Structure 1
Amino acid sequence: MLPWTVIGLALSLRLARSGAERGLPASALQGDLLFLLDSSASVSHYEFSRVREFLGQLAALLPVGPGALRASLVHVGSRPHTEFPFSQHSSGSAVQDAIRAAAQRMGDTNTGLALAYAKEQLFAKAAGARPGVPKVLVWVTDGGSSDPVGPPMQELKDLGVTVFIVSTGRGNLLELSAAASAPAEKHLHFVDVDDLHIITQALRGSILDAMWPQQLHASEVTSSGFRLAWPSLLTADSGYYVLELAPSTDPGAARRQQLPGNATGWAWTGLDPDTDYDVALVPESNVRLLRSQHLRVRTLPEETGPELIVVSHTRPRSLRVSWAPALGPDAALGYHVQVGPLRGGAAQSVEVPAGENSTTLQGLAPGTAYLVTVTAAFRSGRERALSAKACTPEGERSRAPRPQPQRTGGREP
């Protein structure tokens, strides 16, 4: 009977997992999901209606419930606007209806301002957000923004928010790859507005994975750190966690961090590249005995480059820039080359795809000193830059014709 008992237990666990992914029971999954919708005038009414329908269909597939997943919708415009808070709707169909009823706000595309507002909403009790549950942001954009996106997005990720980005095709690959959670290929989607339905199931699965940490696991792994997440095992009143980290080859160099019982995540930074680390999560409870959880995480190799910038083929109005290609786990996503006069003035930039390591800069001024900067963007979201000086030669000056000696037809008398 023992083998059948084991098989029955395994089958029960599998059914429980698959049932939770369908939304049953909803209490098995908890998290706060914020939809950030570009509602500015840069989006046509047709595009807005297609994106709104996509988000509605996505919400209908999620296990929304009071004790499970909660959803909120925030508009991007001149000023951010909350369509509905986390606590307003208690089912996926109700969220779908609310999204379908949302009207376009128009105005400027101040995405950075909306992201700062979203950070407040994701952690504000007044907005229905809950402490100690996974946080996920789904940003749907046409690719443009009137204000910087990088700093506020990094603040969200530093707080443990998982960021998914859906671009309808006109976004900058390097900027959006850096803004999305790592790895970018899992968290960033470029889709035509009429084909959004293609990614609905995949995005749903990724959102559920981000909101359902069954045990200690690592994400956002880079060459210098990673983020840890675990299920809610304690409360603030029932105990605390001790988190231990040590290089696998040097257990004596362990680092420890004590965290409150309502914590569900922590980020380790300042680590060595290409190194195995052993992690232990030890729950200390005065209510019940809980087993510690263990994990081994390997940091990525150090991302280096670009290196050795070479300037050649200098002309009065152009020059060629080459560089040693970047090195890393997957090399670079691409390069951003910027050139501007050393004495000040307008700068110009060129995007160079991965696999290429040179470009020709045109439209320069003769006899001018420039600063050329090559930036490599990696899948981890980090960037490496190198600069060099270059000078265009003076243009050819027009020369006055030489005076010709006068000739006479005969001798003077």
Structure 2
Amino acid sequence: SSSCLRTMRFCRGRIYEKTSFCFVFAVVDPASNLRVLEVASKSMRVTWDASVGDISGYRVQMIPMMAGSKQQDLYVDSSQTSVVVKDLSPDTEYQVNVFSLKDLLSSEAVVVMQKTEPVKVSLECSLGVDVQADVVLLVDGSYSIGKKNFAKVRAFLEVLVNTFDIGPNKVQIALVQYSKDSFTEFYLNTHQNVNGVVKAVRSFPYRGGSTNTGRAMTYVREEIFQTNRGARANVPRVTILITDGKSSDAFKEPATKLRNADVEIFAVGVKDAVRSELEAIANEPAETHVYTVEDFDAFQRISKELTQSICLRIEQELQVSDDPFFFSELIQPRDLTFSDVGSRSFRASWEIDANNVEFFTVQFKPEDDVDGHYVSMTVPGNTLTTILPRLTPVTRYEVRVSAQYAKGESLPLIGYETTKLPLWADLCNLVTSLVTDTSFRASWTAAPGIVQAYKVHWKSLFSEEHGEKTVPGDETTTVLDGLTPETPYQVSVIAAYPHKDSDPLTGRETTDGEPV
């Protein structure tokens, strides 16, 4: 069906201009019989019956009902009516939406609610009595935390410590507090059992100072993970960073050097911590290595998930250490290229030197999205290209492609591409109204994408008189005043995007004569 919105502008009592805006509406048939199966603590299978219409694919949207958990969006092919959604938050209710897609159109959502299971450490991750690991707790003790909140940090650390079977031939724990300088509260070989570690965690002092996270990570690498301080060879090494603010010093290179020393970094950010900074510090994937909470009272919400991730990561590393060919078998994609770049989509293509890929996972997000919300797509293992849909114009995207094998997932291949500027001037019209002898109103259709502002220019066709004003990106009308009576003006409107300005919309208007 279609409908037309007609606008008329009157000038001096007669119709001066008539413009038509036509919109075509198409109905996309939704999927049906949406249901959730195989529910676990961090995953669930979403299944539905196919749409009866001609569609191009489906969008599966997972919206958590708990603040601080991430929304997920997954795109699948029209032939697929089931998908396993991973990296969910345990013990969290999700609203599951499935949309049928036809090009740029979408159906109404079919919806179901489902809660993930709570973490069952005894079933999903049971560190054996012979498991060894060296774990360093790296705690921000800067002035911004304060004594009251620091007591909550101690309580959170106690929960983490009690997760592990501690001993000289088991899991060893060290604690470093940092601010301007770093202080070793105790080394890996200081305490021989969990009681000693818990007692030390309950009583270590709050020191205060600035937040030199980079210097602290260098300190951990050079002073803590050393054999004379209890560090062991061929044992999984883990650092858990807890901070409430932005680092006062350079942190990327120290974090890279710590990771390159075979240390797995997890990061917990509280309140004002910058997630993009935490993601640059921690290991990948961020979904299991970076945790953020709104305040110090919310530690309990992430404690189970964090300890579970650490536990599973140690188990995985121990399994890998027994199989030296593990990583060599998980061949990474190569030669990521982009083509068919438009304002709303582009094509990603890659190569791989393997014939046993089950499927590829393609993830993408705006590069400057500090929340790290990736949209995911699955691509069959025999396909080396896909189109990334529903993008924002004039936006630089980070794209990750990883290969999924029976044994696990490869490291991601990462690339970047920027969408083009839309042809706004071909789609929209500039309209004027409310003409007086010294003013008139200019209005326009909103430009697509994220518009920072509109730049409105006007110039007299009889003289050098001209002007300019800036209108917020969410407004599409403004009044031009202080004009000269009975004067024709040329008006142009430009949409300002983060990286580029659009071509102008242009129009003309003549002010009325002075009232008699």
TM-score, structure 1 as length reference:
0.53
Q: Is 1:26 matched up with 2:129?
A: yes
The structure in which a higher percent of residues are strand is 2
Counterpart residue identity of residue 194, structure 2: G
CA 1:145–1:63 in 2, change beyond 3 Å: closer, same or farther? same
CA contact (8 A) 1:85 1:127 kept: yes
Q: Distance in 2 between matches of 1:167 and 1:244?
A: 30
Partners of 1:304 and 1:116 in 2: CA distance: 31
Structure 1 residue 247: deviation in Å?
9.1
Question: Residue by residue, what CA displacement relative to the aligned partner does 1:186-209 show, whole Å, maximum 9, x if unpaired?
Answer: 111111201212222211111111
The partner residue of 1:359 within 452, 457, 463 is 452
Q: Write the letter of the residue equivalent to 2:399.
A: G
1:87 aligns with 2:160: no
**Alpha-carbon distance, 1:271 to partner:** 4.3
Aligned counterpart in structure 1 of residue 242 of structure 2, from 140, 156, 159: 140
Tell me which residue corresponds to 1:161: 263
Match of 2:45 in 1: none
Instruction: Name the structure 1 match of 2:287.
Output: 185
Deviations 1:28-80 (A, max 9, x none): x1111110001122211111110111101210121212111111001112211
- Equivalent residues of 2:218, 2:254 under 8 A apart: yes
**What code does the residue aligned with 1:78 have?**
K
**Contact preservation (8 Å) 1:26, 1:65:** no
How many Å separate the matches in 2 of 1:74 and 1:326?
A: 37
Return the structure number with greater relative CO, CA threshold 8 A, min gap 6.
1
Q: Of Structure 1 and Structure 2, which has the larger fraction of its residues in helix?
A: 1
- Aligned in 2, Cα 1:71/1:329: closer, same or farther, shift over 3 Å? same
Counterpart position of 1:194: 297
2:230 aligned residue: 128
* Alignment coverage as a number of residue pairs: 260
Between the aligned partners of 2:367 and 2:153, the Cα distance in structure 1 is 38
Deviations 1:310-334 (A, max 9, x none): xxxxxxxxxxxx72351524999xx
| TM-score normalised to structure 2 length | 0.44
| Distance in 2 of aligned mates of 1:21 and 1:63 | 13
Q: Which residue of 1 aligns with 2:309?
A: 206
1:5-24 equivalences in 2 (<5 Å): 18=122, 21=125
Q: List per-residue Cα deviations over 1:74-127 (Å, max 9, x = no partner).
A: 111221110000011122232121111110111221111111011124531122
One-letter code of the match for 1:164?
Answer: F
Contact 2:236–2:318 (CA under 8 A) maintained in structure 1: no
Judge conservation of contact 1:61–1:92 (CA < 8 Å) in 2: no
CA shift in 2, pair 1:243/1:172, >3 Å = closer
Instruction: Check if 1:76 corresponds to 2:186.
Output: no
Query: Residue 171 of structure 1: CA displacement?
Result: 1.5
Kindly tell me: are residues 139 and 297 of structure 1, through their superposed partners in 2, closer, same or farther at Cα, counting changes over 3 Å? farther
Which residue in 2 is equivalent to 1:348?
Answer: none
Deviation of 1:159 after TM superposition, in Å, equals: 2.6
Answering whether residue 231 of structure 2 is matched by residue 231 of structure 1, we say: no
Amino acid at match of 2:310: I
Q: What's the secondary structure of 1:328's corresponding residue? A: strand
8 Å Cα contact 1:119-1:156 kept in structure 2: yes
Q: In the superposition, relative to structure 1, how do residues 244 and 26 fare at CA in structure 2: closer, same or farther (>3 Å)? A: closer
Find the counterpart in structure 2 of residue 108 from structure 1: 210
Query: How far 1:149 sits from its partner (Å)?
Result: 1.6
Task: Give identity over the alignment, percent.
Answer: 26
- Work out whether residues 275 and 300 of structure 1, in 8 Å CA contact, stay in contact via their aligned partners in 2: no
Deviation readout 1:156-184 (Å, 9 max, x if unpaired): 22232211111112112222222222121
SS in 1 for 2:134: strand
Task: Show the counterpart of 1:324.
Answer: 395
Aligned partner of 1:207: which letter?
A: I
Please tell me whether the aligned partners of residues 394 and 499 of structure 2 are also in contact (alpha carbons under 8 angstroms). no
Structure 1 contact 20–26 (Cα < 8 Å) conserved: no
The residue type equivalent to 2:274 in the other structure is N
**1:86–1:128: 8 Å Cα contact kept in structure 2?**
yes
Aligned partner of 2:411 in structure 1 is: none
2:279 and 2:286 in contact (8 A); partners too: yes
CA distance in 2, matches of 1:78, 1:244: 39
